[in-house]
Homo-oligomer: A and B are copies of this chain.
Amino acid sequence: MTHLSIKALRHYHDVGLLEPAEVDRWSGYRRYDTTQVAVAQVIRRFRDLEMPVDEVRAVLTAPDGDRRNQIIAAHLERMEEQLEQTRTTVASLRRVLEARSSTVPIDYRSVPAITALAIRSTVTVSEFERWWVGAFQELHAALAAGSLRRGGPDGALYPGDFFELECAEVVAYVPLDGSGSGAPRPGRTELIEVPGADLAVLLHSGALEDMDQTYGTLGIHVVERGLGVDGPIREQYLVSPLDVEDPGDYRTEICWPIAGRTADPGD
C-alpha cells in the first residue's frame, strides 16, 4: 500500500520514525494500523526528496502547520541551492574541458604593512560563501557609518589549513587610509594590522568556481621556482559579487606570499 520496502519499515521502526501500532511480544511481528498508511506515504515522499530522517521526524511531530511548513520550505530551499550549485559546476566543468589556457602575467609585489578594519571568524568551506557576503556587507556598513576612509580594495587572508582541512580562521578586511585609531569599532569589526609581504600575484577573471584554475597556475609557477609559502594566502576583490551581477566580470587577485629561497636543484 505504501510502496515502502520491508527493510525500510524496519529501519523506520529502529530509528523511531514510524513505530508499528503493535509489536507482538513473542514473535516480534510488527503490526500497523490503517491510519499509518497515510503517514508512511508522506514519509516516502520526503525521503524521495532526500530529506534526512531526523527532519522528516521533525515535520511529522511539528507542533503546528506553520512550523511544519517552515521545515519543508527550508528543505526545498536547500534543494534549490544545490541545483544552482550543480548548474555552476557544470558550467565550470565545461570551461575547464575546453581548456583555454590564459596567459595572464604573474606579478611580483612587495607590500608594506597596513592597518585594516576586519572581521575574523573560524569558518568551514561549506558555510564560507554566506559568511563572506555577510562579513563584507558589515564591513562596508561600518565604513560608511564611521569616519574611517578606505585605503585599498577589499581583501581576505586564508591560512593554508583552510583549503586543506576545510576549516580555519579566515580574516576579511578593508584596508584603511591612515591608522584608524580612536574610531568606534561596531559589531564584529576590529582593527588589525595586515603584515607586509613579498607576493606573487595572479589576476583571476571570472566566476569564483573557476578560481582553483588560477590557484593552480600560480602554485605551479611558485613551486617550480622553488619559492616557499610564507604566511596565509591573500585574495583581493577588485570586482566582486557585491559590485556586479555577472560572474564573468569578477576580478580577483590571488596573492601568494613567498619566502625567497636559494634556488633548489630540481624537486
A41, A219, A224: residue with the most chain B Cβ atoms closer than 10 Å? A41
Residues in B whose Cβ lies below 8 Å from that of A213: 41
Shortest C-beta distance, A247 to chain B (Å), equals 16
Those of A1-58 within 8 Å (CB) of chain B:
1-3, 5-6, 34, 37-38, 41-42, 44-46, 48-49
* Cβ–Cβ contact A45 & B3, under 8 A: no
Cα A49 to Cα B89 in complex, Å, equals 7
* Cβ–Cβ contact A216 & B41, under 8 A: yes
Residues in B whose Cβ lies below 8 Å from that of A242: none
Cα A38 to Cα B212 in complex, Å, equals 9
Shortest C-beta distance, A56 to chain B (Å), equals 12
Count the A residues whose beta carbon is within 8 Å of the partner chain — how many?
Answer: 39
Q: Mark A126-170, 1 if CB is under 8 A from B, else 0.
A: 000000000000000000000000000000000000011110000
On whether A41 and B1 interact (CB within 8 A), knowing A90-B76, A164-B6, the answer reads: no
- Chain A contact residues, majority secondary structure: helix
Q: Mark A44-82, 1 if CB is under 8 A from B, else 0.
A: 111011000000000000000000000000001001000
Cα A45 to Cα B90 in complex, Å, equals 8
Cα A93 to Cα B46 in complex, Å, equals 8
Residues in B whose Cβ lies below 8 Å from that of A34: 220, 223-224
Q: Mark A236-263, 1 if CB is under 8 A from B, else 0.
A: 0000000000000000000000000000
